[in-house]
Structure 1
Amino acid sequence: MTDEADRARRRAIRAEYAEEEAEAGEAEALESAQTVLSVRIPKQLAEELKEQAAAEHIGTSALVRKILTKTIHARLEEPPLTEERVEMIARRVFRELREG
């Protein structure tokens, strides 16, 4: 592949990526009001997020939103910690300690 063909291919990929990100952003904006949240994370984590986002063909921000949404919703769907659940957990822990 020539340098010019390679550059053209890269431009096309970037344009497609930008269009997809814009569409995703518009869809999310329509779903709910958004705000900006800045966080500091370790450099290695940032690199891992970028790699995973590239593997999924989405932007890093879209990946972080997806992870946060999935995590928060999963926590909200957990059954409440009732007295019965605490007793069941305690019995299991004591049983495992005796057997262990």
Structure 2
Amino acid sequence: MTARIYQQPKSAMQSGKAKTDTWVLEFEQSEARKPDPLMGWTGSGDTQAQVKLSFPSKDAAKAYAEKYGISARVHATPPKSLKIQAYADNFR
């Protein structure tokens, strides 16, 4: 059972920084997805892929993975870059 640990990113509809300080442990898929013959929906028998656990810090997520014997990879948070722009720059 493998998992990945990453910091919750900001959604496209979000302008503030709320809920971006949480870390998420998410299990990777162990079984390929396949279409359902009746409805055509994509599904899988892997129920672990539906589990997302939230933690207040990266260390807490790592400790949880070690406690339960889960091999986890930590994905580093990309650096944030701000593009400082004034309204007057639209008319240059």
TM-score when normalising by structure 2? 0.19
Q: Which protein has the bigger strand share?
A: 2
TM-score (norm 1): 0.18
> Higher helix proportion, which one?
1
* Higher-RCO chain (CA-CA 8 Å, sequence separation at least 6): 2
